[in-house]
Amino acid sequence: MSASVPTLFTETTLDGFPLWVVLLICGGVFLAGFMDAIAGGGGIISVPVYLMAFSGLPTHFVLGTNKLSSCIGTAFSTARFIHQGYVHWRLFLPAAGLAVAGSVCGTQLQLHTPDVVLKYLLLAVLPVVAFFTLRTKMWPEEPAPIPPRRQAAIVWAAALLIGTYDGYYGPGTGTFLMLVFIHLGKMDTRHAAGGVKVINLASNIGGVCSALMAGTVVLGVGLAAALASILGHYLGAGLAIRNGSKIVRPAVVVVLLLLLVKVISELLFPNFWN
DSSP code of 184? T
Q: Is 225 exposed, middle or buried (0-12, 13-18, 19+ CB in 10 A)?
A: buried
Phi, psi dihedral angles at 13 (to 5 degrees): -130, 160
Short-list 31, 26, 55, 58, CA closest to 220: 26
Q: Are 182 and 140 in contact (CB under 8 A)?
A: yes
Q: Please, is 40 exposed, middle or buried when counting C-beta atoms within 10 Å of its C-beta (0-12, 13-18, 19+)? A: buried
Chain centroid, CA 117 distance in Å: 22
Residue 62 is predicted with a pLDDT of 85
Q: Output the tens digit of pLDDT for each of the chain's 274 residues.
A: 444 545 655 566 776 788 888 999 999 999 999 988 888 888 888 888 888 888 777 878 888 898 899 999 999 999 999 999 999 999 999 999 999 898 888 878 876 777 677 677 777 777 777 776 666 655 666 777 899 999 999 999 999 999 888 877 777 788 889 989 998 999 988 899 999 999 988 888 888 888 888 888 999 999 999 999 999 999 999 998 888 777 877 888 788 888 888 788 878 877 655 5
Predicted local distance difference test score (pLDDT) of residue 235: 94
Q: Residue 107: what residue type?
A: T
Collect all residues with Cβ–Cβ distance below 8 Å to 128 and sequence separation of at least 6: none
Enter the pTM of the model.
0.79
What whole-number distance in Å separates Cα of residue 119 and Cα of residue 186?
A: 29
- Judged by DSSP in three states, 75 sits in helix
Rg of the Cα trace of the chain?
19
Helices and strands in the chain: count of H runs, count of E runs: 11, 2
Collapse the DSSP code of 55 into the 3-class scheme (helix H, G, I; strand E, B; otherwise coil) and give the result.
coil
End-to-end, the C-alpha distance of the chain in Å comes to 29
Compute the CA torsion angle 81, 86, 105, 257 (nearest 10 deg).
-70
Q: What is the pLDDT of residues 219-229, one digit of tens each?
A: 999 999 999 99
Q: State residue 153 phi and psi, 5-degree precision.
A: -60, -40
**pLDDT tens, position by position, 194-209:** 999 999 888 888 888 8
Q: Which residues contact 89 (CB under 8 A, 6 or more apart)?
A: none
pLDDT per position as a tens digit, 49-94? 888 888 777 878 888 898 899 999 999 999 999 999 999 999 999 9
Q: Rounded distance, CA 230 to CA 77, Å?
A: 8
Residues 6+ apart with CB under 8 A from 116: 267
Strands 17-18 and 13-14: antiparallel
Amino acid (1-letter code) at residue 225: A
Sorted by where each begins, the domain ranges of the chain are 17-268
Q: Dihedrals φ, ψ of 14, to 5°?
A: -135, 120
pLDDT of residue 3: 45
